[in-house]
Structure 1
Amino acid sequence: MTQTKLTRPEAIIFDMDGTLFQTETLLEIVHKRLFAQLRKEGLYVKDTPPIERLIACLGMLLDDIWKRVMPDGSPAAYERANELMLQYELEELEAGNGTLYPHVIETLEKLHQRGIKLFVASNGLEHYVKGVATFHKMHHLFAGVYSAGEFETSSKVDLVARLLKDHHLQDAWMVGDRSSDVEAGLANGLTVIGCRYAGFGEDYELRGSHRLISSFDELSSFLP
């Protein structure tokens, strides 16, 4: 970890899964429904892959996720899995399933009240990422919710670069739990805050972060 003195940022950019949202609390339901439907449609007839395999892939682009979760699957299975994933995630969110990490709302409100612009940059699908923000009543706190699904970016580096350009941001922090977040922040010249509380990735993924947090509310303590 790189220890440098932090300055007050103009904006803070957050990853969604594993940073704001406890994705596994939603995926436990979605995972079972998705593979049951794939088998029903004859697109994947083997046993349901362990959910740990799916959770370990969080933060990746969807196309890459399915290649790891069901490497013996067909392109048709991958395409249908994309459709079902979004459908079931939105249904379960609307039903009230899935939770945020502790202290997320109050910390975001404090940052917002201090005049810091808040954004989301996620490799997820557009309607899912915006759905989490909407159903958990935090959408109004963000100046922008960016997703790879909406902008069809090939990496989070490109997604964050677009966000910075669109909003004319010169100074920002990138907050996330995976190597893709660290890479996106460093490649765009941002201060990187690595989140250690999700447990999806390995410790090495956060190498290069300027600070590490074990609870979301620690973030506000870094502000001058």
Structure 2
Amino acid sequence: MVKNFYCERDFVQRSLIFDMDGTLFQTDTILEISLGDTFNHLSSLNQWDKETPIEIYREIMGVPLPKVWETLLPDHSKEIRELANSYFIKILVENIRNGKGALYPHVEEVFNYLKQINCPLYIASNGLTEYLMAIVKFYNLDNWIVETFSIEQIQSLDKADLVKAIIKKYNIQKGAVVGDRLSDINAAKENGLVAIGCNFDFARDEELSQADIVIDDLIELKLIVHQL
């Protein structure tokens, strides 16, 4: 679905800034097992005696991890939350390196095309650096991605600030943010870029309604990029 808006064509180079989880990487493929392992670990420490709150995590997917643990462990200490966070990242990275995850369909095809038309690509994610680099290295995304940025690199937890830092570093004047959640859409709009919403696993209709463009498959970017 493409809304009726159009940016006048010119010769300014287009850039695309991608979210990672739920946009490029099918986090759902390793989410449940990794979260389950984490809460089993907490149980072994007598810090948890319920089922893994997977559905709650699905609802907040995409927010920075400190906020995740505040939500999942509201009655636990900061130390326990940090322990859970460290263990979760460790398990996620192990699962990625063991090939248990997956990219969304057509990532490589789309990236090859965008590289051919000289469209610089970046990643801006609320994920931690270690986790992001595990994905980038396992799937060789650095063959196409100029640089991967983590929320850890800025003082705030606002994705708009992260996108702003990318724009400033690379002097981006035109392009889009591609992501599945409201934080991606807001990051685009607050920085004068087009907001492309991905109607994938964790997306919500009420959030996608605020995007300039909504796609159901990354392959659609091969046409949309020429409208930016």
- Equivalent position of 1:213 in the other structure: 215
Worse-matched range after superposition: 103-112 or 44-53: 44-53
SS for the counterpart of 2:122 is strand
- Equivalent position of 2:4 in the other structure: 3
Q: 2:122 aligns with which of 115, 119, 122?
A: 119
Q: Distance in 1 between matches of 2:167 and 2:49?
A: 44
1:38-92 per-residue CA deviation (whole Å, 9 max, x = no partner) reads: 12123x2221333122122221011111122232322122101111111111111
- Equivalent position of 1:151 in the other structure: 154
Give 5+ residue unaligned stretches, structure 1: none
Q: CA deviation at 1:120?
A: 0.3
- Equivalent position of 1:41 in the other structure: 45
1:134-153 per-residue CA deviation (whole Å, 9 max, x = no partner) reads: 11121221111001023343
Identity percentage over the alignment?
A: 34
Worse-matched range after superposition: 148-157 or 101-110: 148-157
- Equivalent position of 1:61 in the other structure: 64
After superposition, the Cα gap between the structure-2 partners of 1:187 and 1:173, relative to the gap in structure 1 and judged at 3 Å, is same
SS for the counterpart of 1:174 is strand
Contact 1:49 1:69 in 2 (8 A): no
The within-5 A match list for 1:24-173 is 24-42=28-46, 44-173=47-176
Contact 1:2 1:208 in 2 (8 A): no
Q: Distance in 1 between matches of 2:182 and 2:53?
A: 23
SS for the counterpart of 2:63 is coil
1:94-142 per-residue CA deviation (whole Å, 9 max, x = no partner) reads: 1111111111111111111110000000011011112111111212211
Q: CA deviation at 1:24?
A: 0.9
Give the superposed CA RMSD: 1.6
The one-letter code matched in structure 1 to 2:219 is D
The one-letter code matched in structure 2 to 1:145 is T
SS for the counterpart of 1:12 is strand
- Equivalent position of 2:27 in the other structure: 23
Give 5+ residue unaligned stretches, structure 2: none
Q: Distance in 1 between matches of 2:66 and 2:159?
A: 14
Q: Distance in 2 between matches of 1:41 and 1:162?
A: 40
**After the TM superposition, which parts of structure 1 deviate over 3 Å for at least 4 consecutive aligned residues?**
6-9, 150-153
* Residues paired across the two proteins, number: 222
The one-letter code matched in structure 1 to 2:25 is F
The one-letter code matched in structure 2 to 1:189 is G
